[in-house]
A and B are shown apart, each in its own frame.
Chain A
Amino acid sequence: MTTILSDLDEGGLVARGEAGGEPSWLLDRRRAAARRFVGQAWPDSHVDEFWRSTPFDVRFDVGRAIAAATAAAEAPASVLDRVEGGGVLVRVVDGALVDVTAHPDATAAGVVAMDLGRAAVEHADLVEAHLGRLTTSGDGTGSDEDRTVSLSDAAWTGGVFIHVPDEAVVDVPLSVHVHVATPGAHLPRILAVIGRHARATLYLEHTSAPGVDALVDEVAEIVVLDGATLRLASVQDWGDGVQHLGLQKAEVHRDATVRSLAFTAGGATVRLRPEFDLVGPGAEVRPLGIYLASDGQWFDLQPFVRHIAPRASSDVLFKGALQGRSRTVFRGNVFVGRDAVGTATDENNRSLILTEGARADATPFLEIECNDITAGHGSATGQIDARHLYYLRSRGIDRDTALRLIVRGYFTDVLEEAGLPGVTEHALDVIERRIADADLSAIQVNDLGLREES
């Protein structure tokens, strides 16, 4: 069954859910979300504060049908292929969970990785308690969701449920690989629950077949319970025809730690929202980002950290490189609620403009209702420093090689800190490929420092 996004059909949704054996509470939620959807309009960039930087109607085409699952579509390699010993891989192709590759370590630790619809029956306690809780709550932790999220709540397909039990230590990565092979709208949905004092690594991979035009409206809810440690990565490797709306929201409980990397290199338009609600005292998040934008690409990156509980800390760092006629927006939001005494927060964004015509905007945004905190923010947009280039060339290294070393070096600190097996190697390859494809003769160099030196 296909449904036109602009005219979501409640009856059709429920019929599809029933056919899939979804429990009644889930059907009720789909129904309620469909009604919210009907009552909402698509985001209006003239009105909506969070849409101001990216014209919704220009960059996102909602006049599409929801893509139906196709048989045996091949997905490209996962970053797990680069991890010695592999990991748990869940493949979602065209809105259907295709297969799950288990790993003995994860199985022994009791890790669950399965279809979300089935989990709504088999793990009803966890799924009913958490699914949609981070997208719809009205108690101050909800993010005032717009129609793009109501759409997911109502009509998601190809859902994945991940559960890491309390105190399980899982060193092999768990990856959800979403692959788009068919044109149309895709609504992947992920729910992950990381148990108390557990340790896990979770990847969200995104790829598409060459030449496919698609809209991907993705919601991931990640609950990180007391004392858990999560390393998280989202890798955007879309082809040129994909428009991606991504809400990846983590709820971080007492003394839990999340270190995340949003690696964005592919897609025509990517609007990514890595969000973190720090709801337990002592919670700690380190949201990192790397983006590589080339001609025609538009990335709108909106990390959002909400300090709800006291003595939590957050430190956001996003770094990007742009070339050609590309555009990036960094809107880093930090909210510190009135009970969040002892908060420590910082957010930083740096963009490297490689060639003329690229544009990077940065808006760090802080809203603070509490006095007893430390907060910082900063942003910088610049070009390659001619002093670096000269130093390397004075040692016999030719210009192109020197530029490669410098651009790669620019991302080294973030990649080393993220330290994600498979993702790091993949990211380095993508960076190398982008530089190799670049017109190095067009790269602009800032010689201000050079002149001051002379």
Chain B
Amino acid sequence: MADLEIRDLTVEADGNEILRGVSLDLDRGRTIALMGPNGSGKSTLAYTIAGHPSYEVTGGTITWRGTELNELSPDERARLGVFLAMQYPVEVPGVSVTNFLRTAVNAVGGEELPVRTFMERLRAEMAELQVDESFLQRSVNEGFSGGEKKRFEILQMALLKPQLAVLDETDSGLDVDALRIVSEGVDRLRSPELGVLIITHYTRILRYIRPDEVHVMSGGRVVASGGPELADELEEHGYERLKTSA
């Protein structure tokens, strides 16, 4: 049994069926790229794994290391090691970055880290991701540029040390330099203890983070699966041919 096992998953949002029977396996230590055109259901799958309340699971299962996730709250999932790097991280006014990160790290780690230890870890990770010190004085995502928001997501991933990381279009909206920093940040975190699900519309992030497998979604289903070469093929021919052949 794979660490993450998704079986025949169907999901609705606002009464519309978006996922129509998705099955996918992912083991820790491996990296999967999930590609597909806009509206194919990639982000819905990401949110559903992370327990977003707008998505209703109408059938199928998501199992993480033997635990059925469907009945768990988003915070319970996070404490089991599930992490979603969001496509559009929300601004939370008045909640300071430092306080937020410390509360999250303590919640996921299950112990109260001494402030000094936490700050040392935080500063070290910030340096790796070239995040400016001034972040610490700001509110969560408030006034962050698109690139800063994405970098902040990866900073959280680095601090929370998840076992399953879902990156929802982390590459979108990033210029070349920002993409490199973020991708290298993720690559650095790869380990035998971490499974990574990269959701992307484009192939460029995959040049930095080489996936073990590539799956393609369309119309709420996985329509093609293969090795890294599948991404290269998509780069060359686009999604059109896949859709028609599916």
Q: Which residues of A contact B (CB under 8 A)?
A: 385-388, 390-399, 401-402, 405-406, 408-413, 447, 450-451, 453-454
Quick check: is B175 within 8 A (CB to CB) of the other chain?
no
**Cβ–Cβ contact A393 & B94, under 8 A:** no
Give chain A residues whose Cβ lies under 8 Å from the Cβ of B93.
409-410, 412-413
Q: Is B220's CB within 8 Å of the partner chain A?
A: no
Flag the segment in B19-27, B102-110, B181-189, B234-242 that touches A.
B102-110
Whether B103 contacts A454 by the Cβ 8 Å rule is no
Q: Which of B77, B94, B108 has most chain A Cβ within 10 Å?
A: B94
Asked if B75 contacts A388 (CB within 8 A), the reply is: no
In the complex where A405-B99, A405-B103, A411-B94 touch, is A391 in contact with B47 (Cβ < 8 A)?
no
Q: Is the CB of B51 within 8 A of A447?
A: no
Minimum distance in angstroms from B73 CB to a CB of chain A: 7
Please report the C-alpha to C-alpha distance between residue A117 and residue B51 in the assembled complex, in whole angstroms. 66
Specify which chain B residues have a CB less than 8 angstroms from the CB of A392 in the assembled complex: 92, 95, 100, 104
Chain B residues, Cβ within 8 Å of A412: 93-96, 139
Contact A454-B54, Cβ < 8 Å, known A387-B90, A399-B75:
yes
- Say yes or no: is B30 at the interface (Cβ < 8 Å to chain A): no
Is the beta-carbon distance between A405 and B53 smaller than 8 angstroms?
no
Task: With both chains docked as a complex, state the minimum distance between the C-beta of A401 and any C-beta of chain B, in angstroms.
Answer: 6
- Taking the complex as formed, is B198 at the interface, i.e. its CB lies under 8 A from any CB of chain A? no
A-B contact pairs, 17 of them (CB 8 A): A391-B86, A392-B104, A394-B75, A394-B77, A395-B78, A395-B100, A397-B100, A397-B104, A401-B107, A405-B95, A409-B93, A409-B95, A410-B93, A413-B93, A447-B53, A447-B54, A450-B54
- Inter-chain contacts of A409 with B (CB < 8 A): 92-96, 139
Tell me the chain B residues, 41-70 only, with Cβ under 8 Å from chain A. 44, 47, 50-55
Report B124-143 residues with CB < 8 Å from chain A CB. Answer: 139-140
A401 in contact with B103 (CB, 8 Å): yes
CA distance A386 to B90 in the complex (A): 10
Report chain A residues within 8 Å CB of B14.
451, 454
A396, B140: Cβ atoms under 8 Å?
Answer: no
Report chain A residues within 8 Å CB of B99. Answer: 405
Bound: A385/B94 CA distance, A:
13
Could you say which residues of chain A place their CB within 8 Å of the CB of B107?
395-398, 401
A390 B74 Cβ-Cβ under 8 A: yes
**Chain B proximity of A318: nearest CB distance (Å):** 16
Contact, CB under 8 Å: A391 / B108 = no
Q: Which of B13, B100, B140 contacts A454 (CB 8 A)?
A: B13
- Considering the complex, give the chain A residue whose CB is closest to the CB of B93: A409
A405 in contact with B100 given A386-B53, A454-B13, A454-B14 (CB within 8 Å): yes
Contacts of B44 on A, CB cut-off 8 Å? 454
Quick check: is B79 within 8 A (CB to CB) of the other chain? Answer: yes
Contacts of A399 in B (CB 8 A): 73, 75
A-B pairs, top 4 by smallest CB distance, nearest first, are A409-B94, A412-B94, A396-B78, A395-B104
Alpha-carbon distance between A409 and B140 when the two chains are bound, in angstroms: 10
In the complex, what residues of B have CB within 8 A of residue A450's CB? 52-54
Additional pairs, 12, CB under 8 Å, beyond known A391-B86, A391-B92: A388-B95, A390-B74, A391-B90, A392-B92, A392-B100, A394-B51, A396-B104, A405-B95, A406-B94, A409-B94, A413-B94, A453-B54
Q: Are B47 and A454 in contact (CB under 8 A)?
A: yes
For the complex, is B10 an interface residue (Cβ under 8 Å from A)? no
Total residue contacts A-B, CB cutoff 8 A: 101
Contacts of A391 in B (CB 8 A): 86, 89-90, 92, 140
Which of A388, A395, A413, A447 has the most chain B CB atoms closer than 10 A to its own CB?
A: A395
Question: Which residue, B73, B74, B107, B108, has most C-beta atoms of chain A within 10 A?
Answer: B74
Residues of B within 8 A of A454 (CB): 13-14, 44, 47, 52, 54-55
With a CB–CB cut-off of 8 A, which chain A residues contact B90?
Answer: 385, 387-388, 390-391
> Cβ of B51: which chain A residues have Cβ within 8 Å of it?
394
Shortest distance from the beta carbon of B236 to any chain A beta carbon, whole Å: 33
Chain A CB within 8 A of B167 CB: no
- A391–B231 CA distance with the chains assembled, in angstroms: 31
| Alpha-carbon gap, A410 to B92, bound state (A) | 9
- Residue of chain B at shortest CB distance from A452: B54
A397 touching B75 in the complex, CB below 8 Å, given contacts A453-B54, A453-B88: yes
Contacting residues, chain A, for B74 (C-beta < 8 A) = 390, 393-394
Question: Which residue of B is nearest A413, CB measured?
Answer: B94
- CB of B9 closer than 8 Å to a CB of A: no
A388 to B86 alpha-carbon distance, docked (Å) = 13
* Contact A395/B54 with A408-B94, A454-B14 known, Cβ cut-off 8 Å: no
**Interface-central residue, B13, B78, B108, by most chain A CB under 10 Å:** B78
* Residues of A contacting B108 in the complex (Cβ-Cβ under 8 angstroms): 395-396
Task: Note all chain A residues with C-beta closer than 8 A to B53.
Answer: 386, 390, 447, 450
- Give the distance in Å from the alpha carbon of A334 to the alpha carbon of B54 in the complex: 43
Closest B residue to A408 using CB positions: B94
Expressed in whole angstroms, the minimum distance between the Cβ of A446 and any Cβ of chain B is 12
Q: How far is the CA of A395 from the CA of B86 in the complex (A)?
A: 11
Residues from chain A with a CB closer than 8 A to the CB of B13 are 454
Interface residue B84 (Cβ < 8 Å from any Cβ of A): yes
Q: Are B79 and A396 in contact (CB under 8 A)?
A: yes
Query: In the complex, what's the smallest C-beta–C-beta distance from B183 to chain A, in angstroms?
Result: 22
Q: Determine whether the beta carbon of A394 is less than 8 Å from that of B54.
A: no
Shortest distance from the beta carbon of A406 to any chain B beta carbon, whole Å: 7
The answer for the CA separation of A58 and B127 in the assembled complex, in Å, is 61
Does B163 sit at the interface, judged by CB under 8 A? no
Residues of A within 8 A of B34 (CB): none
Complex CA gap A391/B94 in Å reads: 14
Are B88 and A406 in touch, CB under 8 angstroms?
no
- Name the distance in Å between B156's Cβ and chain A's nearest Cβ: 6
What mask results when residues 176 to 209 of chain B are scored 1 for a CB within 8 Å of chain A, else 0? 0000000000000000000000000000000000
Which chain A residues border B216 with CB–CB below 8 Å?
Answer: none
Chain B proximity of A358: nearest CB distance (Å): 20
